[in-house]
Amino acid sequence: MGGVAKVRQVSNPEVSDQKPETSSLASNLTMSEESALWPGMKPESGLIQTPPPSQHSVLTCTTGLTTSQPSPAHYSYPIQASSTNASLISTSSTIANIPAAAVSSISNQDYPTYTILGQSQYQACYPSSSFGVTGQTNNDAESSTLAATTYQTEKPSVMDYPTYTILGQSQYQACYPSSSFGVTGQTNNDAESSTLAATTYQTEKPSVMRVFLWDLDETIIIFHSLLTGSYAQKYGKDPTVVIGSGLTMEEMIFEVADTHLFFNDLEECDQVHVEDVASDDNGQDLSNYSFSTDGFSGSGGSGSHGSSVGVQGGVDWMRKLAFRYRKVREIYDKHKSNVGGLLSPQRKEALQRLRAEIEVLTDSWLGTALKSLLLIKSRKNCVNVLITTTQLVPALAKVLLYGLGEIFPIENIYSATKIGKESCFERIVSRFGKKVTYVVIGDGRDEEIAAKQHNMPFWRITNHGDLVSLHQALELDFL
C-alpha cells in the first residue's frame, strides 16, 4: 500500500482544524422478652405436699441442713442428688421434719435433672438485671401437682448494657480483602425493648465505577494536524519541521505495524477489538508456528492461491486470522512498557529523539495529557478506555510508539473505523454496565454526538488550557 493511502488510515480523517484557544471548566463539560415456663420444667406427680398455705414455708436444699434460702414457692419439689436432705422452715420458726420413709421414697425415684441458669451467669450477660423465682398455687384444689414455675427479669430503672465489640473494617477486610461491610439496626421504642439491634454484614464485589472514554488524535497526542500542517499554522510553528516530524512518526508506525503486528495480512480484515475473533482460536501452540508459510491471505481466498489458503470466512481462514490477533496481543503485552525492544538500536534512538522533538513542537501536549491519564489510572474503580477512528493494528502501534502502553491495556482499545464511535460506545456500555458513570473526552463531533446519544458528559479538548482544566477538575474530584 502506498504511502499516501496509509496516511489516510493512520490519521483521523474526521478531525477538523482546531478552534481558537478557550478554557473554562464550565464550558468544557456537558452534563445532562415476656415471662414463660423454664425449659424442661413440668408438673410431676408423687411429690410431697407442703403444709397448708397459711404457713408460709419455703424449701431449702442443702447437704447438711444448716443454711436456707427463702423463696416464695408454695410447693416443694425434689432435686436429684447423691445425698440431699430437704426440710421445711416456716415463718414462725417451726420446723416440719420429713419422715425418713418419705425421704427414702424420694431418693429411689428418678426425676429429671433441671439445669437452672445461675445468678452469676445471668449477671455476666445483664449485670444490672435482677433474678427471682415465683410460683402460684391452686387454693381451690389441693392437688399434688407441681405448680408452674416462672422466671421473670425485672427491668431496672437504668439499664446498663455490656460493651459489644463490633469488628472494624480493617479487621474485616483482613479476612475478606475484597469485601466491604455495613452495620444496620433498628430498635422498638414503643415496646421499650432492651434487645441489641441486629447487626448485619454485607460483602460487595469491587467493580468499575467510572470509565473515561478517550479519543486519541488531537486529544491525547498531536498527530493528524502535524501531517496537514494545521498545527503549525495555528500556533505559528515552522510548517516544514512540523510536517516532517509527523511524516517520520507515521513511517515508524507502519514499520512496527507491518513488521511485528501483521498489518499486511490484517489491513483488509480489520477488527474493532483484539478479542473479536478469539472464539475461532483453537489454542494451538504458536511458538514454532510459521505465519509466513501458512498460506493466509488477508485480502480473501481465491482459486489462484490454491486450496491451502482457504476461503475467506471459512473455518481454516478464521483460525489463521485468530492466530494473528492472538500473536498481536502477545507482542503488545510484552512490549507495552518497552517499545524499543521491537526496534533496532538505531531506530530506538531515532524514536527517542523524534518524541522529544514532537513534545517541544507541541508545547508538551502529550505530557499535559499524561497527567490526567495517570491520575485516573491511580484511582480505584476507574479505568481509561481508548476509542480511535484509526484501524486497530496501526492504532496499537501508535499507542506503543507514543509510550501509552501502560496507560491503555490492549483490551481497553477499540477501533471505530468499521462501526463508528456510537456503536463502540454501545459495546463498552454492554461490557461495563449501565450503572457505571462514563465521561467522554475528545475533540471531534463524532465522540460528542455519541456521548449525547448515550447521555454521557463530554469534555472537549481544543487546546492546552482544556487539558490543564481537565487535570484540575480531576484533582478536585469533579470528575
CB-count exposure of residue 401 (10 Å: 0-12, 13-18, 19+): buried
**CA–CA gap between residue 134 and residue 145 (Å, rounded):** 16
For 376-400, what is the HEC assignment? HHHCCCEEEEEEECCCHHHHHHHHH
Element holding 59 (H helix, E strand)? strand 57-62
| 265 in a labelled binding site | no
| Nearest-angstrom CA–CA distance, 18 and 21 | 8
φ, ψ for residue 477, nearest 5 deg:
60, 30
Residues 206, 216: Cα–Cα separation, whole Å = 29
Residue 443 assigned to a binding site: yes
Q: Active-site residues: which are they?
A: 215, 217
Under a CB-based contact definition with an 8 Å cutoff, are residues 160 and 148 in contact? no
Cα 461 to Cα 421: distance, rounded to the nearest angstrom: 17
Residues near 42 by beta carbon (within 8 Å), at least 6 away in sequence: 146
Nine cell digits for residue 244: 516532517
Residue 458, H or E segment = strand 458-460
Closest by CA to 185, choosing from 204, 164, 154, is: 164
How is the beta sheet containing 57-62 ordered, strand by strand? 57-62, 85-90, 95-96
217 annotated ligand binder: yes
Rounded distance, CA 466 to CA 422, Å? 23
Single-letter residue type at 294: D
Collapsing DSSP to helix, strand or coil, 479 comes out as: coil
Q: Please name the residues in contact with 183: beta carbons below 8 A apart, sequence gap of 6 or more.
A: 166, 199, 200, 201
Question: Which residues define the annotated binding site for Mg(2+)?
Answer: 215, 217, 443
